[in-house]
């Protein structure tokens, strides 16, 4: 009797498992998957534009650790953080120096608190006396604007300083290449509308493209048109 009961229970659990698995399959079919994952920032996939001198300097820095210090400045969305991430993991705030680490990056120097500036002061001094270590810093302002206290300004210019300039016409070529890589068709009318009405920086446009990609996957479509673009923008935050 106990054996028959165990057999019946096993059969019942088996069929319940099949139903659960079937329900999960149905659920997975209904979930849009964002399979187009943005690649990690590297020097190789940085869109150069007019920034070849900065890119060449960073390539040299990555190979021979010279110069040890680089400061990149320019408006938001031009690729400063991309380059900093390509050269070293960006910590939250300013990291402490470690003998086991050779690459450092500090983003948005112009937003650091006084304590953060003290930490940056100490980090730069450590980098200078440890050959083979490097530090990439970014900010929105040029050192010539004297946006921070004098001891930090002086150290920002101890190494190489580059203005990172926005992309121009090539920005749209890059965006269309990203769309093609995701299997998205952007109609000529939609391209013209985007060039007229959307922010002209590749970071914002790439983020918008990712949002559109998810929408298209959910709708099982692959084309961006002007009406759908306007509808999406009404509910998206750039």
pLDDT at 196: 79
34-53 pLDDT, tens digit each: 444 556 888 988 888 899 99
Question: Is the alpha carbon torsion for 83, 45, 92, 204 positive or negative?
Answer: positive
- The answer to whether the CB of 119 falls within 8 A of the CB of 87 is no
| Strand stretches in the chain, DSSP E | 69-73, 103-106, 134-139, 160-163, 185-186, 223-224
Q: Which CATH class is domain 52-163?
A: alpha beta
Q: Residue 224 — very low, low, confident or very high, per pLDDT cuts 50/70/90?
A: confident
- The domain defined by 170-235 folds into Helicase, Ruva Protein; domain 3 (1.10.8)
9 or 54: whose pLDDT is higher?
A: 54
pLDDT at 35: 41
Are 52-163 and 170-235 the same fold in CATH?
no
Q: What pTM was computed for the model?
A: 0.67
Q: Tell me which residue has tokens 């790439």.
A: 206
Q: Which sequence spans correspond to the domains of the chain? A: 52-163, 170-235
Query: Which of 152, 126, 133, 132 shows the shortest CA–CA distance to 141?
Result: 152
167-185 pLDDT, tens digit each: 776 677 778 888 888 888 8
Residues in the chain: 238
Query: Which of 108, 101, 116, 126 shows the shortest CA–CA distance to 71?
Result: 108
185-216 pLDDT, tens digit each: 888 888 888 877 777 667 777 778 888 888 88
């Amino acid at each position: 009797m106990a054996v028959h009961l165990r057999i019946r229970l096993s059969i019942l659990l088996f069929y319940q498992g099949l139903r659960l698995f079937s329900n999960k399959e149905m659920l997975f079919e209904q979930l849009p998957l964002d399979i187009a994952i943005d690649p990690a920032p590297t020097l190789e996939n940085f869109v150069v534009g007019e920034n070849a001198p900065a890119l060449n300097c960073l390539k040299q820095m990555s190979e021979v650790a010279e110069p040890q210090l680089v400061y990149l400045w320019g408006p938001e969305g031009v690729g400063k953080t991309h380059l900093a991430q390509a050269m070293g993991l960006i910590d939250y705030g300013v990291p402490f120096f470690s003998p086991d680490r050779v690459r450092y990056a500090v983003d948005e120097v112009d937003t650091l608190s006084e304590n953060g500036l003290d930490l940056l002061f100490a980090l730069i001094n450590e980098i200078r006396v440890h050959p083979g270590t490097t530090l990439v810093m970014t900010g929105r302002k040029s050192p010539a604007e004297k946006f921070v206290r004098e001891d930090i300004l002086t150290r920002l210019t101890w190494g190489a300083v580059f203005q990172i300039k926005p992309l121009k016409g090539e920005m749209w070529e890059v965006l269309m290449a990203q769309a093609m890589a995701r299997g998205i068709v952007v109609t000529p009318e939609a391209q013209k509308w985007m060039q007229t009405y959307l922010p002209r920086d590749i970071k914002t446009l790439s983020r918008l493209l990712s949002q559109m990609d998810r929408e298209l996957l959910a709708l099982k479509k692959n084309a961006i048109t002007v009406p759908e673009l306007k509808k999406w923008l009404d509910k998206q935050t750039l």
